Amino acid sequence: MNLSVLNDLVLKVHNHTRLSASDKAYIRNKLPRMLAGRRAFQATVSYAHPAGVTIRGAPAGSFVKAFALLLGKKAFGTKRIIGHPLYDDLEKSLTIGILRTNFEFGRPKGFYCCPRCSLAVFPLLELDLLHYLRGKDLARDMRRRIESREGPFEHGVADRLVEFALSF
C-alpha cells in the first residue's frame, strides 16, 4: 500500500504547515476508505516512516494507526470523538492498548506495547488528541523518560524516530 500521501500530510502536521481543503477532504474521505478496504493495520508489515527509518513488524501498524488518527483529528478539527467509524475505532483501539500496557503489563502510564509503538502514540498524547486520556500529563512524564533513555527506551529505538516523535 502506498502511504506516501499519508506521510506527506504527517510531515505537514509535524512542521506546523496548515492542511489545505483538499488535504482535509483526502483525510475525511479517501484515507479511511483506503485503510479500511485494505486491512492496512493487520497487513502493514513494513512502513517507511517520514523520518527515514523503515519500521517492520507490529510497530509498523502502530505508526500507521497513530498517524492516521492524528490526521483525522486535525482534518475534522476536534480533540473529541470524531464521529467517523474508522477514526473512532482507531481511537478506541489505541486508547485500550495504552491502558492495557499499564494495567496488564505494568509499564508506566502512556506507554504502548513497546518502545517504537510508544513513540508512535506519543504525538497523540502530547497534542492531547486522545479523548479518554489526559494526554498532556502522560506526555510530560513520557517525554522525560524518552529523553533520558529510561527503560524501556535504553536501546532499540533510532534517534531519528525519537527526534521526530518529540518535535511535533
Binding site for Zn ion (CB under 5 A): 58-59, 113-114, 117
Q: Up-side HSE of residue 63: CA atoms within 13 Å toward CB?
A: 27
| 68 versus 75: smaller Cβ distance to Zn ion | 68
| 78 versus 102: smaller Cβ distance to Zn ion | 102
| 114 versus 157: smaller Cβ distance to Zn ion | 114
The dihedral region occupied by 53, where left means phi > 0, alpha psi between -120 and 50, and beta the remainder, is beta
Kindly state the smallest distance separating residue 64's Cβ from Zn ion, in Å: 13
Kindly state the smallest distance separating residue 58's Cβ from Zn ion, in Å: 5
* Residue of 50, 164, 53, 153 whose CA lies nearest to 110: 153
Kindly state the smallest distance separating residue 67's Cβ from Zn ion, in Å: 15
| 114 versus 162: smaller Cβ distance to Zn ion | 114
Beta carbons of 69 and 124 less than 8 angstroms apart = yes
State the DSSP code for 46: E
Kindly state the smallest distance separating residue 157's Cβ from Zn ion, in Å: 11
